Chain A
């Protein structure tokens, strides 16, 4: 049965359960129980929950299990004896068979064509079993709950306990996601490090994943040039742009700007943060990179790259400006007004107050903001994918090309390599490194902010 139709059916059953239970509860004999514990609608919710939740839970599990069962059934078919023993080939044929079973006009491998009827039959069988059990569960759950709907039944307590469980499960998803990120990165990285020694990866200075030596894959997978490129573009060039601009705009907007200017300028800065990174990337590649190359040629570097570190870093810096600005804004606003007023009362000019009193007092917050900005810059992907080069160089010259971790992750995973090669697994190892570094930056920054806030409270 169609999946959406099934969902609709279950939801419909839930609605029927809700309506009948509410109607039944509404006609309770109030003679004996003058005051009912629960409202009729709460009885309705109780029945609806019992109707819908077990069926949905079963469907979720069934959707995970049934492909395996279908596969088992197809492998029992006589034609399946001709299937190759290699998992990869066998899976490809089975996938094709499934495709043909869905759409008989599709063409494919003759073996897949032979298997298609068995595949179609097995899918239909397990599909019907799944739908049948789900509907049965919905009926059984609803009937069970309906028999319990009585005047003295404490439906409200039950429903509230159920809602509580749902809330708890929803908030656990955040932990599960974090755990999922960490474990999946760790798992693939461990597989990578079983082929490539971690020392080679972390301290090797030669990166050329296109040619990987089968015996010593670590020799061409040294990630130091990537780390350097990431640091150079994200933490040096981008910050040289973002820190002065972000800080000075925050100072101007909080200390100098008249309210109507601020009312226009602040949303404008926020718009800068709302522009998608792919647009920045396109802008960097189309407009900034050629300009930077021309500049380099003018400065006497005739073979300057059009994929320079400078172009990507500059645009990235502009992207980070609103981020630095809003963090600086917050931490300057957190400095007690008494300090500012005291300095002004002593006869200091506004700029002297800002640079000698406000900024030193706000410094921890500003530093934390810069750390967060760096963490965002080194995780930024599209700008470097579109504007930086893939050549791994360790260079101090901003006009030369440099590559970053994120750019390499995209390059490694969008190629045509199979999933298990060291080349694709390297992307996960790079991802793990990136995740750990951004996490550390984040934890340090949040701690600094927290301690600093306490200092003034």
Chain B
């Protein structure tokens, strides 16, 4: 910053001037104005932070107010007169393995609807869910003697009634809900099915287990690929790579990959993993099965690998050279230095970066839409190659549904997703604070 004296402006003749009198009125006014500007500026900064916080709070509050009812379910106490329904099944049949089949064929669904009409009058069948008979079926299987008497069962209410019970339904349903409430026929309980069931067309019967399992399988693939590859390439770049054009190229591509929009990775997955290849004149179909957790996991692995590489490199860089020198000095080989000393010390930082990357992959939607993980999946995937969907895509699919009942289910699924993500981020912060070493 030092300039040669020749370039310095010549010292100016300072005219004789009285020292500034800070007490004059104009000066006081000027200072007040400057301090006011200071306060305004500071307030502006504070407002920016508070408004951002307020937005986050508003978003979370919207999701919670919309979604908490998704974890509850409204049950209707329905009295079914089984002897009158004359179901063509015997109690003995219900103890056998063919019970499901026998009951499905026995018109149990109609029997439940008829019971609802008998109890609540015409239109009563609209008060119970289409899936209500499944609950009755399970109850019958549990206690076959019910076939010989009249029993009162709590069956799921229809979406419309459920909405009305929550204070958000059509006028006639609201009236029906009030009537049932008065009769004590409505009860609210925890909707455990939401966590154990899969997608359905009926909002009261949907669950997120299928999507959650798809997410877990996808994350497993992502982790198994991105973590080793990311850590190994970070080790190579930080500890071994000679400084030359090749390693520069690797570095540049990693930095750029970290900024490539996620949807581009979806296009890559679509073209490479699901495209048609030719090898020696033979067409080979898609390399990987469409819509499967395997292909989704691979795509996301490519996406978060740069995140893991960058975090791992920083963690490895932070290990002081004295540790390497000490290990080398007592005769350890390069590989031993890295795998016995540097890597364990860098692990907390690497894990933190990996968890953040995995959280990003867990919340990612766009690339998975392109590789076909948006199918209507009723049975949870059993393996890595089964058609699957993931939680964020399930949220997207439900958000497109017309039925109002899906709004609370979408928000409830968002709450589950956010809980997972916050837990992962919290774990990352905890790991960082607990194991962070300042050398």
Interface residue? B365 (CB, 8 A): yes
Q: Which residues of chain B are near A410, meaning CB under 8 Å? A: 263, 366, 369-370
Q: Which residues of chain B are near A205, meaning CB under 8 Å? A: none
Return the chain B residue nearest A166 by Cβ: B232
Count CB-based A-B contacts (< 8 Å). Answer: 268
* Distance in Å: Cβ of B340 to nearest Cβ of chain A: 12
Interface residue? B217 (CB, 8 A): no
CA distance A167 to B237 in the complex (A): 9
Q: Which residues of chain B are near A372, meaning CB under 8 Å? A: 259
B407 and A286 within 8 A (CB): yes
Interface residue? A379 (CB, 8 A): yes
CA distance A352 to B259 in the complex (A): 35
Cβ proximity bits A243-267 to B, threshold 8 Å, 1 near / 0 not = 0111111011101110000000101
A160 and B365 within 8 A (CB): no
A318 and B52 within 8 A (CB): yes
Interface residue? A1 (CB, 8 A): no
Interface residue? A406 (CB, 8 A): yes
Q: Contacts A170-B236, A174-B306; is A428 near B48 (CB within 8 Å)?
A: no
Q: Contacts A265-B53, A268-B56, A442-B256; is A256 near B46 (CB within 8 Å)?
A: yes
CA distance A87 to B393 in the complex (A): 32
Interface residue? A385 (CB, 8 A): yes
Q: Contacts A178-B253, A282-B414; is A188 near B38 (CB within 8 Å)?
A: no
Return the chain B residue nearest A282 by Cβ: B399
Interface residue? B271 (CB, 8 A): yes
CA distance A184 to B273 in the complex (A): 11
Number of interface residues of A (CB under 8 A): 98
A175 and B253 within 8 A (CB): yes
| Interface of chain A residues 307 through 322 with chain B (CB within 8 A) | 318, 321-322
A173 and B261 within 8 A (CB): no
Interface residue? B151 (CB, 8 A): no
B253 and A177 within 8 A (CB): yes
B45 and A252 within 8 A (CB): yes
Q: Which residues of chain B are near A180, meaning CB under 8 Å? A: 268, 272
A414 and B369 within 8 A (CB): yes
Q: Which residues of chain B are near A395, meaning CB under 8 Å? A: none
Partner pick for A438 among B237, B260, B268, B395, CB 8 A cutoff: B260
Query: Which interface residue of A247, A269, A276, A434 has the most chain B CB atoms within 10 A?
Result: A276
By DSSP majority rule, is chain B's interface helix, strand, loop, or mixed?
Answer: helix
Interface residue? A23 (CB, 8 A): no
Interface residue? A71 (CB, 8 A): yes
Q: Contacts A64-B284, A271-B56; is A381 near B233 (CB within 8 Å)?
A: no
Q: Which residues of chain A are near B48, meaning CB under 8 Å? A: 244-249, 252
Cβ proximity bits B361-400 to A, threshold 8 Å, 1 near / 0 not = 0111110011000100000000000000000110110010
Q: Which residues of chain B are near A175, meaning CB under 8 Å? A: 249-250, 253
Q: Contacts A171-B232, A174-B305, A381-B366; is A67 near B271 (CB within 8 Å)?
A: no
Interface residue? A213 (CB, 8 A): no
B418 and A252 within 8 A (CB): no
Partner pick for A351 among B41, B237, B265, B309, CB 8 A cutoff: B41
B56 and A279 within 8 A (CB): no
Interface size class, chain B: 35 or more
Interface residue? A136 (CB, 8 A): no
Interface residue? B59 (CB, 8 A): yes
| Interface of chain B residues 230 through 269 with chain A (CB within 8 A) | 230, 232-233, 235-237, 240-241, 249-250, 253-257, 259-265, 267-268
Partner pick for A256 among B45, B284, B306, CB 8 A cutoff: B45
Interface residue? B49 (CB, 8 A): yes
CA distance A265 to B45 in the complex (A): 12
Cβ proximity bits A155-168 to B, threshold 8 Å, 1 near / 0 not = 01001100110111
Q: Which residues of chain A are near B280, meaning CB under 8 Å? A: 68
* Distance in Å: Cβ of A168 to nearest Cβ of chain B: 6
CA distance A393 to B434 in the complex (A): 53
A409 and B236 within 8 A (CB): no
Q: Which residues of chain B are near A247, meaning CB under 8 Å? A: 48
A177 and B365 within 8 A (CB): no
CA distance A87 to B284 in the complex (A): 12
* Distance in Å: Cβ of A154 to nearest Cβ of chain B: 11
Return the chain B residue nearest A98 by Cβ: B285
CA distance A351 to B43 in the complex (A): 11
Partner pick for B59 among A64, A166, A283, CB 8 A cutoff: A283
* Distance in Å: Cβ of A362 to nearest Cβ of chain B: 15
* Distance in Å: Cβ of A142 to nearest Cβ of chain B: 22
CA distance A90 to B363 in the complex (A): 39
* Distance in Å: Cβ of B288 to nearest Cβ of chain A: 10
Known: A281-B399, A381-B366, A414-B370. 12 other contacts (CB 8 A): A174-B306, A180-B272, A184-B272, A246-B48, A252-B42, A279-B63, A318-B55, A322-B52, A352-B34, A386-B396, A406-B366, A438-B259
Task: List the 10 closest pairs (A to B, CB-CB), nearest first.
Answer: A379-B261, A276-B363, A252-B45, A171-B233, A248-B48, A351-B41, A170-B232, A381-B366, A184-B271, A167-B236
Residue contacts A-B, CB under 8 angstroms, 17 given: A167-B236, A168-B236, A251-B45, A252-B46, A271-B425, A274-B425, A277-B363, A282-B395, A282-B399, A282-B411, A349-B35, A352-B34, A372-B259, A379-B262, A386-B396, A410-B370, A431-B263
State the A residues within 8 Å of B (CB).
64-65, 67-68, 71-72, 87, 91, 95, 156, 159-160, 163-164, 166-168, 170-175, 177-178, 180-181, 184-185, 187-188, 244-249, 251-253, 255-257, 265, 267-272, 274-283, 285-287, 318, 321-322, 349-352, 354-355, 372, 375-376, 378-382, 385-386, 406, 409-410, 413-414, 419, 427-428, 431, 434-435, 438-439, 442-443, 446
